[in-house]
Structure 1
Amino acid sequence: MVAMATADLLIMIINVILYNIFSYHFPLSFLAQTPVCIFLIYMTAITVHLSVWFTVSFTFDRFVVICCQKFISKYCTKRTAAVVITTFAILTFLNNIPVLFAFESEQLINKVQWGCRSSFVFFTSPLGIAYVWFYSAWGAWLPFTLIALLNCFTVRRILEANRARRGLQGNRIENYCDPETESRRKSIILLFAISGSFMLLWLTTTVSLVTTRLTNTSYYRGNRRDPGYIATETGAMLKLLSSCLNPCIYAAAQTKFREELKMVLTSPWTLILRLVRKRELKDSS
């Protein structure tokens, strides 16, 4: 969850603030120079893919905890978490390297390259077309499918376990609160809050990617009134909204997260109060 929160924060900084706000409203700034612009696009792809695959990792982690009891002791460790996070980070940086060659400068002013646009040579070449399909599958189709399947298996397991547990506790009092069932309930709420919001907010992007790839629609060079272009831009907005929503889910679902957030918000006032009291004691003495 720390890795997910970090990736979401990077999306807010790089994708939203730097790319969608500063680059758009300040077209002649340092960010508009072609090398910087291309690197910024490269980083936007990386941050989105990190957020996506960390969400998949979290969903798989919940799946292991609930459905694979014998595998918990081997998988659910700090070492495994570090290996998974590092592996996905390295893979994401490597498989997005072609993005650096997929764009070119828009104009040359005083021997300085400004702006960046999609390279027609890259996107029409066989390797470019293959990479576009791979990019779509890695960034949307495969994660979407994995999260849906893992959620189905997890829900089925929870329902079966709860049904069996209720059968064993049939003679207990009606208002008895089962801690195991309550723990599962909280786990499934957190799971569906994160992965469910991801699936809903990424649905438009996934569908638009399927339609534009299968119909060979170059929406990045198309008419802005075209339904494919509108669907693509709407999906881009919703997937950024997903990263804004995740921290709110952490705060609502996780007690420790709320406690840490409360401590961060109250610590400055606590420090000021301590200084005031110390000053009062010093004056009184």
Structure 2
Amino acid sequence: MSMADLLVIITDVLLRTVVVMYFPRSFLNITPVCSTNIVVAVAATLISVWFTVAFTLDRFLAICYQNVKAKYCTERTATVIMGIVTVFSCLISVPWYFTVEPEYNIDNTPRGCVWKQTFFNLTSWASFELLMYTLVVGFPFFLLLLINSLTARHILVSARVRKVLLGRNIGDNDKDREMGSRRKSVVLLFCLSGSFILLWSTYVAYVLSERIFGIPYVNGSDLESVAIMLQVLSTCTNTAIYVLTQNKFREQMKIAVTYPIYLIVNLVKRKHAC
């Protein structure tokens, strides 16, 4: 998940936006390279979203179905699923290469990428775009909401059973660390679904306004910039929410941050010793 999100940042933010904007004569602005980068950016977004869905499903099975955890929640199964998602995302993203055309020419070299007029006029392209947003937003959001709801329901039912087994009434105010942890898990699950739909809603509304109501895209507008920013941000929030709430990850993060400092200190000590 983290690598997929990092790939989105590199391709969609750095290569597709920053480099092209501030270095227009870069080879990355050559139309074939630019078109390829669009395909990679779309594929990375698909991979990021579906890795999040796969991870959510894995947690659902691990929490709600302990009997299948040992069989399906394994490294081998995860590798197979990640491979299938990656290949499928790359293949279905290839048509995006043919949706753009050169914006201008320099020394007989096509540069820049602008949407072809046929991309807006042909029904086939409109259907393809609708399919893509169904795969990127609609279906994943439905699955995330469904899986997280089922997981939250299981946690709440288990919490009630735990209270009964501990001899406590539902309205008892006694503190229970396990109960507090489960409440946080429920909030976490719905934060994931909520952040996903909220961050994607502006971009989807922006695109559908052109397709349904005929409002043309306004390149470089403030709305476009905000919509793209939130859409790119959505590929990072779920991973951040998942991992930053894990104690082991925070411990490893501290080690990763302090390790270079540790090396520098040791190097300085060795120089002084010599």
Q: Could you say which TM-score interval applies, normalised by the shorter chain?
A: 0.7 to 0.9
Structure 1 residues 110 and 64: alpha-carbon distance in aligned structure 2, compared to 1, 3 A threshold: same
Deviations 1:42-80 (A, max 9, x none): 122112111111111122122222233332222210011
1:92-118 per-residue CA deviation (whole Å, 9 max, x = no partner) reads: 000001001111112233221111111
CA shift, 1:134, in A, is 0.9
CA distance in structure 2 between the aligned counterparts of 1:9 and 1:112, rounded to whole angstroms = 31
Are 1:63 and 2:60 an aligned pair? Answer: yes
Alignment of 1:120-159 (within 5 A): 120-159=117-156
Q: Equivalent of 1:238, from 215, 230, 233?
A: 230
Which structure 2 residues correspond to residues 76-155 of structure 1 after superposition, within 5 A?
A: 76-155=73-152
Secondary structure at the counterpart of residue 219 of structure 1: coil
Cα distance, 1:174–1:103 mapped onto 2, change above 3 Å: closer
**Hey, what does 1:204 align to over in structure 2?**
202
Pick one of 235, 245, 258 that aligns with 1:253. Answer: 245
SS in structure 1 at match of 2:15: helix
What is the identity, as a one-letter code, of the residue corresponding to 1:134? Answer: L
Change (3 A) 1:15 1:224: closer
Tell me the C-alpha RMSD between the 2 structures: 2.8
Residue range with higher mean Cα deviation, 131-140 or 205-214: 205-214
Is 1:214 matched up with 2:212?
yes
What code does the residue aligned with 2:203 have?
Answer: T
Percent identity over the alignment is 38
The aligned counterpart of 1:263 is 255
Give the TM-score of the pair, scaled to structure 1.
0.83
Q: Which residue of 1 aligns with 2:30?
A: 33
| Aligned mates of 2:234, 2:63 — CA distance in 1 | 25
Which ranges of structure 2 fall in alignment gaps of 5 or more residues? none
Counterparts of 2:246 and 2:199, CA distance in 1: 22
5+ long unaligned stretches in structure 1: none
Question: 1:212, 1:71 → 2: CA distance?
Answer: 46
**Distance in 2 separating the partners of 1:219 and 1:75:** 47
User: Secondary structure of the equivalent of 1:27?
Assistant: coil
Distance in 2 (CA, whole Å) between partners of 1:13 and 1:78 is: 27
User: 1:86-145 CA distances to partner (integer Å, 9 max, x unpaired)?
Assistant: 111101000001001111112233221111111123443343222111112111111122
Aligned length: 272
Deviates more, 1:58-67 or 1:205-214: 205-214
Among 141, 151, 157, the alignment partner of 1:160 is 157
The SS at the match of 2:25 is coil
1:136 and 1:209 in contact (8 A); partners too: no
* Equivalent residues in 2 for 1:267-282, closer than 5 Å: 267-278=259-270
Higher mean C-alpha deviation, range 29-38 or range 251-260: 251-260
User: CA contact under 8 A between 1:140 and 1:205: conserved in structure 2?
Assistant: no
What's the TM-score once normalised by structure 2's chain length?
Answer: 0.86
CA distance in 1, matches of 2:261, 2:101: 51
8 A contact 1:102–1:123 mirrored in 2: no
Measured in 2, the distance between the counterparts of 1:136 and 1:203 equals: 11
Over 3 Å counting, the alpha-carbon distance change for 1:106 and 1:176 in structure 2 is closer
